[in-house]
Structure 1
């Protein structure tokens, strides 16, 4: 095999054995790891790959997990999710578990333990009595980071987002580090685990109140990703909560889960069984939707003509045309186009009002969340805009435009590690993005221009070096 063919084969074996996926930007790193590990065993690349593919070579897979994982974490990372955990999820689970007085939580891809320990701290802060049992399980494929997690010792940098009161209560200075209090360490257990494998005990149905699996799904092959989602859903108690990372999405209608949105945070709740009476449909209840219905016969002509003017860059004419139509009888698609044209004319407050009206009617409308974010970003409310871009991406995993905006905003802030996965995801999605969405949200740029922009920004991040 040629060197490039060997690296491609290595990528395939890693996908089969670990469930991890690597894109073309990772080929250099894979080539370096392949050369290093082959030399360590005194094997040619070809013989090493044969052995890795055919044998149950657990020790080698463990070493590869250590060499290939990136572990960027800290306590209270993405603090808005932990605020929802404390204020919404855990109070509900405490009420549901009042007879057992046990809370069970799981951290998948826990790295060096900061996330798992944060779960334990938050639960300890809200538990209603000392007789409650808190149990947190942390999982990771890398034994080296798990060993660090078990020590419970962390640097100041790992505590950079930790509230001062929490730091004083649960961390003890020791030399140049901080040692986590034994009461918290005793509630957390760590286990080496390869997500490509099943485990009947670990994924026993209905056992966890909360599962955190943040920024892991995007690195898994589609088959392993879907299998892991099914396991996590099944292992959640009815009414239990699943928190994913901002780069992960299950769409707006995941099987067995209900999307939730609180305080600019998107998460999921496992559906609870309904009684026969609960299952009866309410009288005249309209079906909820997150994708706008096709336009009606009255509005369709105006909408199509306005879209044509938009494509011809006759924005003022398009806006005048759509504003001449009465508001009554407009479809969500018409209102969205009106909001886009208003924003393009600099009338951001009016555009924002229309977007919020759309979301009042249907909070799962991804396009409306995206356009609201455009309005907020233009009005300098960038942090709030980011939340709505993330919501749009969550609700529709195939939506390229919010990924592109998130990547560009991260680049503007110098956060290249955040920008690269967002821009890379946008680049892949742009190939199949709907023409109407590109016309609405592309800012006058077509598919080719937006693709070129993505590539240029990725190159500026060093992704192609």
Structure 2
């Protein structure tokens, strides 16, 4: 049985060597890896940890990356991001790079190579002619996954989301699956790289037109995550595009990048130094209530008067009291009293005038719950992406997952909502809580979690 002190030390060393962070529910797997790796070297846990801590042990670091990384992937995963790549990013880049006729793409955390080859296929299909050069670099710390990637051989399951015409043109049948066409293989190279370390050659300034780094940031420590974001931003050419996973967010105003959204997905674009002056801040959508906000409507300004009425579940009266300048609260109240079309129009108006805004996307999600749960989830996902501290979209996604019978997905969202509710802005709870306060919403999350039966 591994002691708590040894396990804590192992996790600290993993953070130092790989830059990874681990949740408490990962303890079982982490302990198994520690035992297995110590045994592989004929050492006990203490001796193994002393050796791992004492000096650079490159081969062992690669083995740990292989043992601990999540490697499941497939071609053209998250089709909405590839749709944006094909319909928006690549056409703009092809026009901008017409002089050089070169496209450079990077897949960070490429695993067994499906993403890197998918990028190459997309770029080769889009290029105006064969005289264009397409290069794709795939990087990963997992040596075994890179070995598989270089074979370019895949099972039919890896192509489960690949359009039939793409499969026929860019893959060759083999005895037990498919192999990527030589034209695509020749455009891709794979590099072993630990994102916790720097590599000036790999992260050359303005070296890439497109970077995909999906579902990796969430596993990194805060320091390594910040360093990787800076490297990727610097490595993007002016006007280049960065795509992250749905669980990763840089917030609404990342330094050096412009946040964009299209077709239900969020992505980022590298800002050129000579671009227009810094854009005006988007209109603030929530107004923090003073510490001693009045509980009664008398004598308050229109927004505070409306908030006080909402605390008393008097939504129709609050709608009458709200000022015309308080656009978001008015939209929320329109939804509360059943005027859904007007609420939806209000949310769209906010997005058209101010760009991606978490609160407006959440309001759209509320509106869509009545006609299309799938669209509602998409809007809630965008809201949570734009503001990772926003509890309410995670709560709503959890409840919708429960309705679908997806208890595991529901538990993930509800656990996050429970934690976020402890620090959620009070006015946001009043606006989006549907008449429930912080305590009642927290109890709702816990009750639903108990019903899921899959709490981690």
TM-score, normalised relative to structure 2: 0.90
Bigger drift between 167-176 and 19-28 goes to: 167-176
Asked whether the 8 Å contact 1:306–1:319 carries over to 2, the reply is: no
Instruction: Tell me, in whole angstroms, the C-alpha distance in 2 between the residues paired with 1:456 and 1:48.
Output: 44
Unaligned runs of 5+ in 1: none
> Does 2:341 match 1:349?
yes
Match in the other structure for 1:99:
99
Q: Which residue of 1 aligns with 2:294?
A: none
Q: Per-residue displacement from partner, 1:77-130 (whole Å, max 9, x unpaired)?
A: 111111111111111111121111110000001111111111001111110011
Does 2:138 correspond to 1:146? Answer: no
Q: CA deviation at 1:424?
A: 4.7
Q: 1:28 to 1:326 in 2, by over 3 A?
A: closer
Task: Report the Cα distance in structure 1 between the residues aligned to 2:299 and 2:379, rounded to whole angstroms.
Answer: 28
> Are the aligned partners of 2:408 and 2:454 in contact in 1 as well (CA < 8 Å)?
no
Q: Which moved more, 1:264-273 or 1:286-295?
A: 286-295
Equivalent residues, number: 448
Aligned residue runs from structure 1 range 126-145, under 5 A: 126-145=126-145
1-10 or 358-367: which moved more?
1-10
404-413 vs 233-242, greater mean Cα deviation: 404-413
State the alpha-carbon separation in 1 of the partners of residues 164 and 237 from structure 2. 33
Deviant stretches of 4+, over 6 Å: none
Name the counterpart of 2:218.
218
Q: What's the counterpart of residue 204 of structure 1? A: 204
Moved more, 76-85 or 390-399: 390-399
Gaps of 5+ in 2: 290-297
1:344–1:452: structure 2 CA closer, same or farther, 3 Å change rule? Answer: same
Q: Distance in 2 between matches of 1:257 and 1:397?
A: 18
The equivalent of 2:284 in structure 1 is: 291
Offset at residue 270 of structure 1 (A) = 0.3
Deviates more, 1:44-53 or 1:232-241: 44-53
The 5-angstrom pairing of residues 131-280 of structure 1 reads 131-274=131-274, 278-279=276-277
Bigger shift: residues 180-189 or 40-49 = 40-49
Instruction: State the Cα deviation string for residues 226-284 of structure 1 (Å, max 9, x = none).
Output: 00000000000011000011101111110000011122221000001217xx54x8xxx
The 2-side partners of 1:29 and 1:12 are apart by: 15
Cα distance, 1:416 vs structure 2: 6.4
* Comparing 335-344 and 210-219, the one that deviates more: 335-344
Rounded Cα–Cα distance in structure 2 between residues aligned with 1:441 and 1:39: 53
Find the counterpart in structure 2 of residue 10 from structure 1: 10
* Partner of residue 304, structure 1: 304
In 2, Cα distance between the equivalents of 1:290 and 1:203? 35
CA distance in 2, matches of 1:318, 1:63: 59
Cα shift readout 1:183-230 (whole Å, capped 9, x = no counterpart): 111111111111000000000001100000011101100000000000
SS of the residue corresponding to residue 423 of structure 2 reads coil
Distance 2:74 2:283 in 1: 34
The CA deviation string for residues 384-410 of structure 1, in whole angstroms up to 9 with x for no partner, is 223322221232222222233334444
